[in-house]
Structure 1
Amino acid sequence: MRKTTTLALIATAVVALGCGSGATDKASSSGGAEAGDKAATTAKIGQPARDGKFEFTVKSSKCGVAKIGSEPLAQKAQGQFCLVTLNVKNIGKEAQMFDGSSQKAYAADGTEYSADSGAAIYANKNADTFLNDINPGNQVTGVVVFDIPKNAKLAKLELHDSMFSGGVDVALS
């Protein structure tokens, strides 16, 4: 368990260092989206939604998963895992790294949940899916994992091209 957490922290730090320049490009090219602008751009499952250099399409969302991976390396949820399968396409003019830990999920009451990068390692068969730069025009599909309480239900996602971007909302219901 410690090894997984350490790997996730290292990966997040590497991603954070690599994403700084992309965030600056986005802020200067988009004029900085205000929070009120996001409400007008809420997408649904299956619809493309853009933030910065990425176009996201949420393919599916499945909650109620108790564990991910195979023994002896399986990871057990504190509550329940919600697996969000999404396609990420680079619509920019330079490579951009997707950071699963920059994604957020929300319950209907506004409770915010962060992504579980350690569990995502087990949920993605191709471990490097989200830890490599995505070149312009290319796209990847993978799973972002959220560990939420057993009685909770996700209402929306807030997807980001980097930890510094304004994000775009995708409704899950």
Structure 2
Amino acid sequence: MHQNPQQPYPQQPQPRYDRQPYTQQYPPTVIVQKKGNGCLKAVLVGAAVLTILVVIGVVLGSRSDDAQVSLTDGPEVTAQAAKPGKSQAPRKAHVPGLGDLVKDGKFAFKVTKVEKGLSQVGEGFTAHEAQGQYVLVHLTVKNIGDEAQMFTDSAQKLIDAKGRTFDADSGAAIWLQDSNAFLENINPGNSVNGLLLFDVPKNLTLKAIELHDSIFSGGVTVSLR
């Protein structure tokens, strides 16, 4: 069935504007009000906590200051000494040996050579046999004082590895050529080459010789090892 072109289109329903606009619905706000003095208590608790924190800070600060004072006022500590379990090994003192110049009182000494294992010294009627073995110590003695000084072998001591000391054999030494060790008077600035003779056991292990400018001096030790 054909529609009449003159007939208008059916009318569309008009929108209604009398309705209320759409709004999102939210749950009602509930305000809870505490009874009594709850706010006042909260303020007081907060103030008390703050006061405690301030007091703790002051105490810690004062302890830190005390610690700094004790560290700066006390003896200085090295980094090595502060390491636990590691102690610094003591440094060994240097002991002079052959060829070293040493001094005691008015004399300067230099031990140049050591001989051992001699069964006798001298020849003919001047020969002397050792009870054990003879040890000869060659040395140079110089007077570094301002007046003459007597050098004698009786003031010198030989020391073995066990710490025992031995006197020089003056009776046999006087027969040695160029010994210059028995009551030799040395003027200031002069020096002599001498020999010290010791009669010691055959199995002796030499350690050192103790040299003195007199029997009353402190002496100086020279290693013979």
Please give the range of the TM-score, normalised by the shorter of the 2 chains.
0.7 to 0.9
Counterpart of 1:45 in structure 2 is 98
Rounded Cα–Cα distance in structure 1 between residues aligned with 2:175 and 2:114: 16
Answer whether contact 2:173 2:181 (CA < 8 A) is retained.
Answer: no
Considering Cα pairs closer than 8 Å and 6+ residues apart, tell me whether 1 or 2 has the greater RCO.
1
Rounded Cα–Cα distance in structure 1 between residues aligned with 2:151 and 2:94: 21
Counterpart of 2:15 in structure 1 is none
From the two aligned structures, give the one with the greater strand fraction.
1
TM-score (norm 1): 0.73
Rounded Cα–Cα distance in structure 2 between residues aligned with 1:130 and 1:155: 24
**Is 2:150 aligned against 1:85?**
no
Shift of 1:42: 3.0
Q: How many residues align?
A: 134
Computing the radius of gyration from Cα coordinates, the structure with the larger value is: 2
Counterpart of 2:197 in structure 1 is 145
Unaligned 5+ runs, structure 1: 1-38
**Is 2:124 aligned against 1:71?**
yes
Rounded Cα–Cα distance in structure 2 between residues aligned with 1:76 and 1:153: 20
Q: Deviations over 1:12-52 (max 9, x none)?
A: xxxxxxxxxxxxxxxxxxxxxxxxxxx95731101011000
Rounded Cα–Cα distance in structure 2 between residues aligned with 1:67 and 1:164: 31
Rounded Cα–Cα distance in structure 1 between residues aligned with 2:198 and 2:182: 15
Answer whether contact 1:130 1:142 (CA < 8 A) is retained.
Answer: no
Answer whether contact 1:87 1:140 (CA < 8 A) is retained.
Answer: yes
Counterpart of 2:113 in structure 1 is 60
Shift of 1:170: 0.2
Match runs of 1:77-116 below 5 Å: 77-116=130-169
Unaligned 5+ runs, structure 2: 1-91
Counterpart of 2:209 in structure 1 is 157
Q: Calculate percent identity across the aligned residue pairs.
A: 50
TM-score (norm 2): 0.57
Rounded Cα–Cα distance in structure 1 between residues aligned with 2:192 and 2:198: 19
